[in-house]
Structure 1
Amino acid sequence: MAEETSKIPQATSKRLPLYYRFLQNFANAGKKRISSSELSEAMKIDAATIRRDFSHFGALGRKGYGYDVDHLLTFFRQTLDQDEETDVALIGVGSLGNAFLKYNFQKNHNTRIVVAFDPKAPNDGKPISNIPVYHPDMIEEKIKELNINLVIFTLPSKAAQEMADRLVKIGVKGILNFTPVRLSVPDWMRVHTIDLSVELQTLIYFIKNDVKDSQL
């Protein structure tokens, strides 16, 4: 029997959408079954890690056969609630925010941005990439009206904590934070911070160390 979701390691949970994406690619290519080694080669993840991740959910495959692609797709679709769309709000329509609005998630995922907020927008809203954009004065009203629980931060750093405090008061459950600010929020709210400058510096560090290692 699969373990409860709350007991699944965080690292495993973060890989689940990746597994789903690559399994879709295999299915689109007409693949009916795959081995952990084939999935490992495609994803560049160790096969032992894949088998360990899958083991948290019970017997997903059979020894000597591998994994049934359609079965895995169905399982991960249900696990990730891929059949249920999640509406998202975006706060801050600068360069990065505009990029999100133009791309939007509904093209490839089960999430979609349905509303955005920016100080340059009027209270009655204006469309950008077919998404209504309102002044931040309308945040509480619109988020409650649209029953939104997930918000993306692409706003200036100086406004991030104050905005998070406002979202806490109306019960928003999650923030995908693209500012470098480490937000202070209650335990019941989940924040995932993606600091692009830190990610870039980390990549530079590994590139330099890879070079050094190859010269030893």
Structure 2
Amino acid sequence: MKQEVKIPQATTKRLPLYYRFLKNFATEGKKRISSQELSDAMKIDSATIRRDFSYFGALGKKGYGYDVQYLLEFFRQTLDQDEVMNVALIGVGNLGNGLLKYNFQKNHNTRIVVAFDSKAPMEGTTISDIPVFHPDRLEEMYKEFGAELAILTVSSRSAQMMTDRLVKINAKGILNFTPVRLSVPDTIKVMNIDLSVELQALTYLVRNSGK
């Protein structure tokens, strides 16, 4: 992503959503949309959308709204949708298995190309057409398959140890599904997804709605 202004992480996380909904609008034949139309579709406050867009300059015109094709092309380039990035999955338990079956290549600019699991044989096996190796071969196979990002779905006790190994082989980013807050240098980007926290937050919202 090329910009001088530092984009907040909350905004960064919404960029793929904007791209997805803009593709829907384009498929429906929409030529232009307002921030309110996008707000109604995405259930995001229109002021938030306008603020997010403002980080990237003048993407629309007052009284006209936004040109759908222009925005679609802008976000496609911003998200590097034409360049696929290879991903390594570390930990093939229930969650890891689900990620392998889904994989991201069909709908996104990322794809899982290799996985690692402590139950896998040293010579490797295949799950959902993805080669899976024992973690002892992480450094070797991570580089051989050209992985740049890692998805971490291991146990909490193994999370930092595996992260330290990823740091040494210059992983660019980690999508962390463990509850551990990883210690990494500034050169590595980490996004944390704690399903238990998200579920607790949802439970709170449900129980307190309408109060």
CA distance in 2, matches of 1:113, 1:5: 31
CA distance in 1, matches of 2:133, 2:44: 42
CA distance in 2, matches of 1:7, 1:160: 29
SS state at 1:191 partner? strand
SS state at 1:61 partner? coil
CA distance in 2, matches of 1:155, 1:55: 38
Runs of 4+, deviation exceeding 3 Å: none
Q: Could you list the per-position Cα deviations for residues 114-173 of structure 1 after superposition, in whole angstroms to 9, with x for gaps in the alignment?
A: 000011111221110000001111100011222322100111111111101111111112
Letter in 1 for 2:113: V
Residue in 1 that maps onto 2:39: 40
CA distance in 1, matches of 2:84, 2:185: 26
CA distance in 2, matches of 1:123, 1:203: 41
Shift of 1:10: 2.1
SS state at 1:49 partner? helix
**Comparing 5-14 and 181-190, the one that deviates more:** 5-14
Letter in 2 for 1:9: P
Letter in 1 for 2:89: L
SS state at 1:88 partner? strand
Residue in 1 that maps onto 2:147: 148
**Comparing 128-137 and 3-12, the one that deviates more:** 3-12
Unaligned residue ranges in structure 2 (runs of 5+): none
Richer in helix (by share): 1
SS state at 1:87 partner? strand
Q: In structure 2, do the counterparts of structure 1 residues 207 and 72 end up closer, same or farther at CA, with 3 Å as the change threshold?
A: same
- The count of residues paired between Structure 1 and Structure 2 equals 210
Q: Could you list the per-position Cα deviations for residues 89-110 of structure 1 after superposition, in whole angstroms to 9, with x for gaps in the alignment?
A: 0011111000000000011111
- TM-score, normalised to structure 2, is 0.95
Q: Could you list the per-position Cα deviations for residues 42-91 of structure 1 after superposition, in whole angstroms to 9, with x for gaps in the alignment?
A: 00111111111111111111122211111100000001101100110001
Over the aligned positions, Cα root-mean-square deviation in angstroms equals: 1.3
- TM-score, normalised to structure 1, is 0.93
Residue in 2 that maps onto 1:22: 21
SS state at 2:56 partner? coil
